[in-house]
Amino acid sequence: MKIYILTCIFFIFIIKTTDAQEHASVEKSIWQVQSLLITKYFSNESRLKRDMALRSELGFNFSYQDGFFMQNPLYVWNPFLRIEPRYYYNLEKRLLKGKKIAKNSGNFLALTTTYQPDWFVISNEDGIRVIPSLSLIPTWGIRRSPTRHFNYEAGIGIGYGWEYYRVMPRTVAMGEVFVNLHLRVGLQL
């Protein structure tokens, strides 16, 4: 009889433990600084649903120009804003295989929306301006966080964008294909 009761208690414990295991989910909020050589990004990734996050980002793009007809090379840093809903489609599978999903380690699909304004430019030459642009790019990517504060991610996508040229007295939008190819190394705050 004692064995029967102990066996029943054991099975109830196993069933309760199995029900209590957490489902795969993205983190509630992640603040981070990411970089690739000279380009810098400050971003936040906030959970929308169990497998969706909204990434908002402020960063500086870097441009370099040099050539035969230029006296000095031109260095330009200009700000951009990016908002990106991300769908992490393989978190459950990674969890079942025993792989890490902490800090949103997984593969994702995103709609990258980037706005590059002509607010200001940091450059080694005076009078440099950038062409304001807006782009919408479907992107596939991977994100991994091997340690608590370190992450890396890579992504690729092709979409459409518009550059806004100032032609007096109005602004003209010219559309073209944009490519998003990124490789970033980051520090989670």
Query: Where exactly are the structural domains of the chain?
Result: 2-188
What is the rounded average pLDDT for all residues in the chain?
A: 86
For residue 186, what pLDDT is reported? Answer: 92
pLDDT band at 37; cut points 50, 70, 90: confident
pLDDT of 63 reads: 85
pLDDT tier at 18 (50, 70, 90 boundaries)? very low
Identity at 136, one-letter amino acid code: L
- Least confident span in 12-26, 60-74, 100-114: 12-26
1 vs 68, residue with greater confidence:
68
Alpha carbon distance 189, 48 (integer Å)? 20
Q: What are the distances in angstroms from CA 169 to CA 129, 131, 133? A: 18, 16, 19
Is a pLDDT exceeding 80 seen at residue 103?
yes
So what's the pLDDT on residue 2? 53
Q: How far apart are CA 112 and CA 16, in angstroms?
A: 41
> For 15-24, 28-37, 74-83, 168-177, which range has the lowest pLDDT when averaged over its residues?
15-24
Return d(Cα 65, Cα 72) in angstroms, integer.
9
Phi, psi of 168 (to 5 degrees): -55, 135
pLDDT above 50 for 19? no
Other beta carbons less than 10 A from residue 62's beta carbon: 15
Task: Decide: helix, strand or coil at residue 43.
Answer: strand
Q: How confident is the model at residue 134 (pLDDT cuts 50, 70, 90)?
A: very high
pLDDT of residue 178: 93
The class level of CATH for 2-188 reads mainly beta
At 80 the pLDDT is 95
Query: Does residue 77 carry a pLDDT above 70?
Result: yes
pTM over 0.75: yes
How confident is the model over 41-59, as a mean pLDDT? 95
Nearest to 123 by CA among 51, 60, 59, 34: 60
Using the predicted structure, report yes or no on whether residue 55 has a pLDDT greater than 80: yes
pLDDT (0 to 100) of residue 3: 54
